[in-house]
Amino acid sequence: MAELNLYFGWSWILIGLLAGAWVGVFFYEGDWLGGYGAWPRRMVRLGHVSLVGTGLLNLGFVFTVTHLGMTPFPRAASLLFIAGGVTMPSVCFLAAWRDYFRHWFFVPVAVLVLGTVDILFRMLP
């Protein structure tokens, strides 16, 4: 199952880099998405960065599990990190589209915190 997080992590990093390249095409336009400090523009930037960041979290998860030889495999944390990877950029892009979705940021944050807590508790002696 660690391979799922490994493939997910690298795929998400690639998608994040490609999204950043696409967004970068429009960065020179000062009024794109309402200007540099506008909510939609900030959320699109955060969305593309969160793709790379959550991809790295999944890779860190795989490294930790394999390095420590965790048995049994922390399946819940594995799924939580993938769910966080999907929901964080989704909420960012949705919030850029409609301000209402900013109220949903608790979902990816809670999911990623739960995954992190699961791993930390498994690391305790």
Q: What is the mean pLDDT of the chain?
A: 94
pTM: 0.92
pLDDT single digits (tens) 97-121: 999 999 999 999 999 999 999 999 9
Q: Is the pLDDT of residue 29 over 80?
A: no
- pLDDT of 34 reads 78
**What tens digit of pLDDT does each residue of 63-84 get?**
999 999 998 999 999 999 999 9
Chain centroid, CA 82 distance in Å:
8
Residue 37: pLDDT band (50, 70, 90) is: confident
SS (H, E, C) the chain: CHHHHHHHHHHHHHHHHHHHHHHHCCCCCCCHHHCCCCHHHHHHHHHHHHHHHHHHHHHHHHHHHHHHCCCCCCHHHHHHHHHHHHHHHHHHHHHHHCHHHHHHCHHHHHHHHHHHHHHHHHHCC
- pLDDT in the model for residue 125: 81
